[in-house]
Amino acid sequence: MNRGLCYIMYVRTYARRGFTLTEVMFTLVLLVILAGMSLSALRPAKAKGPTRGLAMALEEELSAARQLAISSGHPVALGMPTGNGARPVAASIYRLEGWNYPNLTWVKGFSGDYPGIGFVAGDWPGAASATAPVNSASKLAGFTLATWLPSDYANDYVFCFTPDGGLVGQNLKSVNGRYPVVVGSRLQASLGSVNAGNEPMTLMVSPYGGIEIVTGVPSGTLPTSSGGTAPISQPAQTTAFDDSGGVYISEIKVTPRVGGPGTEGQCVPGQYVTLEVYAYDPEGRGLFAKWKQPNLKGIFTYPDGGAGDGAVLESEVERMEFVNVAPPGIDWVTADGNSFTPPGGVFRARWGWTVPFNSEPEDRYSIEVDVKDASGQCEILNPPQPVVFEVSPRGKLIVEKLVGGIWQLVQMNPDGSNFRLLSPPGISETLASLNSTGTKMAFLRHTGGGTRVMIRPLDGGTPSFVDDGAAGAFTSVSLSPNGDWVSYRNNSSGQLITKKVNGTMRFEQTQSLLGTPYPRSRTGWSRDSKFMFFEHAKGIHWRNLESTSTGVLVENISSSIVEELYAPVGYFAHGQERVLFSLGNYNPVLMSVPVNRTGGSIDSVSASGFGDFTSTPSSNSQNMFVDLDGGGGSAGSGSFDDCYPNISSDNQWLILNRTPIGTDVDLATQATLFVGLNTVGNYEGGSTGTSRLITGDFRRAIWVP
């Protein structure tokens, strides 16, 4: 007991023991050292506080601009003003947003919250920097920041985010593949570079939108600044909107095909029609198109063609799609009737409409569209029943027919029966030419880069290219009767190229054509394929393909006559070899001349019985004569152009193109005329003789042997 009591008393005595003087002094010295170290560490943190805060604020605004671009679908740019390059340090930011033209919608200044702090989108001494690419990450096709950005901001630092989240920069530098923004106090700088500054923080912006904040500068050294801050730019001013308008609207494009005068489209019952319109807003804001059908007869495609209770929808609204470049061939409607070309991107609306199933021939439908303060209208026609050939000649034809909005080659009977598509689906092919046995066909295939010259077996075999291996501006093609020769024009060089299909022989002739209004060039051949006939210098020339000699068959010898001779065709009628061709650039008529082989040889040919052409015709060319069979008959063509004649292998039927005067034969729908060669009469579509006029969406027909 006494031992235990003694132990307890010992412990209590130890616990109540005080510190020695040495211990107290050591503790005080240690506390002073620690306090000094803490204050020293806190001083830089306090100094860097405003710099870091501004860097974080800039990070938030850059991220917000990127998210806005993604959500809105149009470019959004965060700009840092530089006073047109004279004040390189920024202390404010602004936001530009819009489609074809950006509007300044928001401005924020930082001088009040962060006095004396600024920022520069640039490099610094010792940084391994490079000029940033103009477009480093964005996949937005056709977008160019320099075009989109107004000139007032061309010298500012601009971070432009596109709807795919990519970044396009203006006046930016790159360091290690990222775009730096240096934030600091007392910045000394020039445009795009910081020379000195205090307490810097650096934002490193990735081309894909990611941002990292780095203390100081990530490479090199930024010298300390002892002077004042370089001139700071002033905040930009927001755009003042004018809601009263100024929207331009284009014509309404109607497909599958363009109709005749007075209509923009033609249709049949139940046919799906695509309506397309373009609009331009100078202020770059998104647009909506409202489609309307006042007569409430057709069916709008969206959402289900009806109003839910069986009623037909009167109108539908769609948000227009932005495209960076307006397509060519669009006509724009202006109130003052002047021409207009959009200086930037445009908005497109494309809508579907179905023709009523009870539509009757000659029914017309009106479709309207409103875009803001602009409106347009189109007429769609269920065309009258076509005129059919009353007494069909025997034989078959190859015709250019409008199929799905493009010209394709089809084979059919003259009355339209036994229709067969020769061209591949969706590929435009024109200007067919056959050999005398009807086994091979030369033609032009149209591609995005021009045209190709091709030959294909008429039984549908594999086609082959006979041009020089690339698409070009080829505007005619013709195959000799024996199928050994092909002749075509290169419109870029003005050369008429004639060569053997097997490549063993080749001729090139510089071909001079007036070309007004449109060249109707096409090489013709003698029936035995020994001579070719071609247009040149207002005449019909010939070439002997065996001896290579050349000469003139028919020449326009009067200087006062400025009419061209086009598209010669060789044929044999009434015991005579003859050449038929179109005469005239305006209101062409058909001419026929007999051909004589001089001395019975094959060295040359000449024309006879054609003396009237040396005198000047009347101004409208309607007094020119057509002599189809040598019998002396004549007829003017009225107010039509007659061109591209072709004669059946039995020499009994002529088929030709007939169009209104001055019509582009490469664009317009044609009427085609059959004429019996054994009877001469008025061939303007009347009942005289055996001629017949057929209308429809086909042109440039040739006979199949």
Please compute the mean of the pLDDT values over residues 258-272 and round it to a whole number. 63
pLDDT (0 to 100) of residue 442: 96
**Does a cis peptide bond (omega within 30 degrees of 0) precede residue 50?**
no
More confident residue, 241 or 138: 138
Q: Among candidates 323, 330, 347, 328, which has minimal Cα distance to 142?
A: 323
Going by C-beta distance under 8 Å and a sequence separation of 6 or more, which residues neighbour residue 554? 539, 540, 565, 579, 581, 591, 593, 607, 610, 613
Residue 284 has pLDDT above 60, yes or no: yes
pLDDT category of residue 677 using cuts at 50, 70 and 90: low
- How many other β-carbons are positioned within 10 Å of the β-carbon of residue 20? 9
What's the average model confidence in pLDDT over 184-206? 92
Higher pLDDT, 208 or 587: 208
pLDDT average, residue stretch 311-321 = 75
Q: What is the mean pLDDT of residues 408-418?
A: 81
**Residue in 233, 193, 194 with CA at minimum distance from that of residue 87:** 233
Q: What angle do CA 359, 362, 363 make, to 5 degrees?
A: 45
Confidence of residue 350 (pLDDT cuts 50, 70, 90): confident
Q: Which of 306-310, 409-413, 440-444 has the lowest mean pLDDT?
A: 306-310
Highest mean predicted confidence (pLDDT) among 507-516, 526-535, 660-669:
526-535
Contact 270, 298 (CB under 8 A): no
Give me the pLDDT at residue 552, please. 84
By C-alpha distance, which of 388, 265, 407, 383 is closest to 700?
407
Q: Residue 154 and residue 146: Cα distance in Å, rounded?
A: 8
Instruction: Quote the pLDDT of residue 620.
Output: 29
Quote the distance between the C-alpha of residue 447 and its chain's center: 14
Q: How far, rounded to the nearest angstrom, does the alpha carbon of residue 579 sit from its chain's CA centroid?
A: 42
> Is the model more confident about 217 or about 678?
217
What does the pLDDT look like over 6-57, one tens digit per residue?
A: 332 333 333 445 667 676 676 776 765 665 554 434 444 444 578 999 999 9
Least confident of 179-183, 214-218, 651-655: 651-655
As a whole number, the mean pLDDT across the chain is 75
Rounded CA-CA distance 495/490 in Å is 5
**What is the rounded average pLDDT of the residues 315-332?**
79
pLDDT the model gives residue 43: 41
pLDDT digits (tens, 9 = 90+) for 522-572: 999 988 899 999 998 888 888 989 887 888 887 765 555 567 788 898 887
What does DSSP assign to residue 499? E
User: Is residue 268 over pLDDT 90?
Assistant: no
- 302 within 8 A of 362, measured Cβ to Cβ: no
**Dihedral, 397, 401, 403, 408 alpha carbons, nearest 10:** 80
The 3-class SS string of 454-481 reads EEEECCCCCCEECCCCCCECEEEEEECC
Please choose, from the candidates 616, 600, 671, the residue with its C-alpha nearest in 3D space to the C-alpha of residue 641: 671
Mean pLDDT value across residues 625-632: 38
Contacts of 20 (CB under 8 A, 6+ apart): none
pLDDT at 662: 58
521 exposure class (CB count in 10 Å sphere: 0-12, 13-18, 19+): buried
Asked if 543 contacts 524 with a C-beta cutoff of 8 angstroms, the reply is no
Residue predicted with more confidence, 688 or 517: 517
User: What span, in angstroms and rounded, lies between the C-alpha atoms of 434 and 426?
Assistant: 23
| Residues forming beta bridges with residue 145, ordered by sequence position | none
| Span of 35-39, 73-77, 203-207, 299-303 with lowest mean pLDDT | 35-39
